[in-house]
Amino acid sequence: MSKQDDLEALEQQQRKSQDSAAGSGRWLISYADFVTLLLAFFIVMFAISHVNKAKVEGFEKSAVVAFGGKPPVTMVAPPQANEPFHHLPSPIPLVSVPPAVAQALRKQELLMAHMRTQLRHALAPLIQKGKIKVEKTPTGTKIRINADVLFQNGSARLQPKALKTVDAVGLVLKKFSYPIAIEGFTNRQPIHTRQFPSNWYLSCARSLSVLVRFLHDGIRPHQLRAVGFGATHPVVPYRPGLIEKALRENRRVTIYVEGNTRVIMTQINRMIS
């Protein structure tokens, strides 16, 4: 074999060795890419799950102050004997509530309280009998009326005596511009008639009857909406000893007067984000 042949054989052997080494290292590159992507995934998941708790708690305190209450006391654990004071947790700062938002909240609460007073006065006889309840909710006012005050069994037509009750509510609500949701509910006794194939139809028809009467009372159409829930969401459970009460009180119409919270909640979301 000549010297030239020896050199060519040596070069071929070196190329094979380099190709083998390169091929054996490709899996390391793929593995490193996978680990990098996995790390990036966990970093993103951690970032989107992180909530600024300090800002949220600070806003809660500011909201209490805005309504005229006293801010809660910040509790700080006493230092240990060997713990320096500069390591103590700092009180959470209050988030400033814009004066316009605080004023709107106070005004709305005053108007809602005035509305509830008028409703309780107008409906006093039925409230005393336990047929109607007027309650404060986190966003406004709730009026719950037993169905036997308004309708006969299996009917969605307001009784003549019910018109006076619905009108009493409507004449108070028309003084305000708040959205009004009318919700109809039945008990679990089934109904299968040509007019009402199920309790869903009956509950929807009853809430719609109240809505139509509110229109007659002068409440603006854009304030109103009606919905039926059938036999769902009972206020009294169907348990032994409560069956008769449940059948009676779960037949109801509930009227929600909702505060104008859209603008206020938009401002709040901006503050805590």
22 has a pLDDT exceeding 80: no
| Averaged pLDDT for residues 233-248 | 94
SS3 of residue 175 by DSSP: coil
85 has a pLDDT exceeding 50: no
64 has a pLDDT exceeding 90: no
Which of 162, 260, 264 lies closest to 209 in space, CA to CA?
162
Q: How far apart are CA 83 and CA 64, in angstroms?
A: 33
Summary mean pLDDT of the chain: 79
Task: Select the more confidently predicted residue: 115 or 16.
Answer: 115
190-235: pLDDT as tens digits: 999 999 999 999 999 999 999 999 999 999 999 999 999 999 999 9
Q: Could you please report the per-residue DSSP string of 93-127?
A: PPPPPPHHHHHHHHHHHHHHHHHHHHHHHHTHHHH
pLDDT band at 138; cut points 50, 70, 90? confident
| Averaged pLDDT for residues 112-141 | 95
Residues 238, 245 contacting (CB under 8 angstroms): no
Query: Which residues, 6+ apart, have CB-to-CB distance to 61 below 8 Å?
Result: 71, 72, 92, 94, 95
| Averaged pLDDT for residues 37-54 | 62
Q: Which CATH architecture has domain 101-264?
A: 2-Layer Sandwich (3.30)
Which of 240, 235, 243 lies closest to 130 in space, CA to CA?
235
76 has a pLDDT exceeding 90: no
166-176: pLDDT as tens digits: 999 999 999 99
Quote the pTM value.
0.63
| Averaged pLDDT for residues 226-248 | 95
56 has a pLDDT exceeding 70: no
Structural domain spans, the chain: 53-87, 101-264
φ/ψ of residue 34, rounded to 5: -65, -45
Task: Select the more confidently predicted residue: 181 or 93.
Answer: 181
Task: Select the more confidently predicted residue: 122 or 19.
Answer: 122
> What pLDDT does 97 receive?
62
61 has a pLDDT exceeding 90: no
Residues 181, 258 contacting (CB under 8 angstroms): yes
